[in-house]
Amino acid sequence: MPQRKHGRPAKPGGPQTHIQKKHIEGIVQINRRGTGYLPWPLEEKAASSKEKEDIEIPNANLRGALNGDTVEVELTGLFPRPKGRVHRVIERARREFVCIMKDGKAVPDDIKFYVPIVVSGGEWADGEKVMVALEKFDGKEARGRVIEHLGRAGEHRVEMNAIVLEHGFRTQFPMEAVGEARELERTHAAVIASEVPKRADFRDTTTFTIDPADAKDFDDALSLEALPDGTFEVGVHIADATYFCRPGTAIDAEARKRGTSVYLVDATVPMLPQELSANICSLKEGEERLAFSAVFILDSNARVLSRRFEKSVIRSDKRFTYE
């Protein structure tokens, strides 16, 4: 009878009996229930013949990952849907959180931060809003320190400030940026004098602003001049903040972080320090200011005959309100 052939161990370099777990990197999104979801990389999606569901990460497998963190996830299964566990947190999306003190712990305002934080850093009272810097979080216990006291929860000013801080904005500017702004404010007259020869001069042209009655700064102005040939020159002048926001400065670095001014119901968090936003970059009545202008020639029927765009110096004659 023919002899049976018995299986033999695989030779080195031959077929492997162990399949290594697949690791995937990306930005995790966590819902209100504390469950994480990681999208598949684009190349993985492109290689698949059907739509892939995001990888689901149960709360117990997040291992300290927070909403928006960049993570490395180990795939643990594919059916009935892809699931995984966080292998490591590569980069935190943020490290500072607005919290309310309850029973000696800081409870984050962000409901996607799913555990309270054990804090150090001075004294506080229950019901106080604080800003906490996260120092350690392993998924079971979070530790941090209080870096700013905001005030009693529920007070209007405190809650408005908390909203701004929770979304990554700062109500205060770095001292280096403030110092630069104060120096620009101090030398503003010399700046105007040096720029006048290089720019279109609208200081003697009828110019005005139109804003709400409670406006704190004035970003744009209009000018109007009747020309001898019966046409009209209309200028739209925008405050030239870029002159004062130069690359490499602390002002520019902070403006890049903020990206925009933030407008609340009864307050504004400016993109630039007050010395700029509310003063030398604000087109105040009777004050000479640098601007960037779009200038149009119109006929008597308001048809545009020509246009030009240029750096300018203006002086608003009147601050009007919509009323």
Residues 224, 313: one domain?
Answer: yes
69 and 189 share one domain = no
Domain identity same for 313 and 215: yes
User: In the chain, pLDDT over 70 holds for what percent of residues?
Assistant: 92
Residue-level pLDDT at 308: 98
The mean per-residue pLDDT over the stretch 191-218 comes to 95
Handedness of CA 63, 65, 70, 74 (dihedral sign): positive
Instruction: Give the pLDDT score at 49.
Output: 62
- pTM as predicted: 0.69
For the ranges 45-49, 133-137, 228-232, 308-312, the lowest mean pLDDT is seen at 45-49
Same domain, 191 and 301: yes
Does the pLDDT value for residue 171 go beyond 50?
yes
pLDDT of residue 45: 72
Does 18 have pLDDT greater than 80? no
What does the pLDDT read at residue 243?
97
91-95, 163-167, 253-257, 290-294 — which is least confidently predicted? 163-167
Same domain (yes/no): 109, 52: no
Q: Could you give the percent of the chain with pLDDT greater than 90?
A: 74
- Of the three residues 119, 136, 166, the one that is the final residue of a domain is 166
- 210 and 291, same domain (yes or no): yes
Is 4 a member of any domain?
no
Q: What is the pLDDT of residue 5?
A: 46
Predicted confidence band of residue 11 (pLDDT cuts 50, 70, 90): very low
239 and 122 in a common domain: no
Mean pLDDT across the stretch 15-31?
Answer: 73
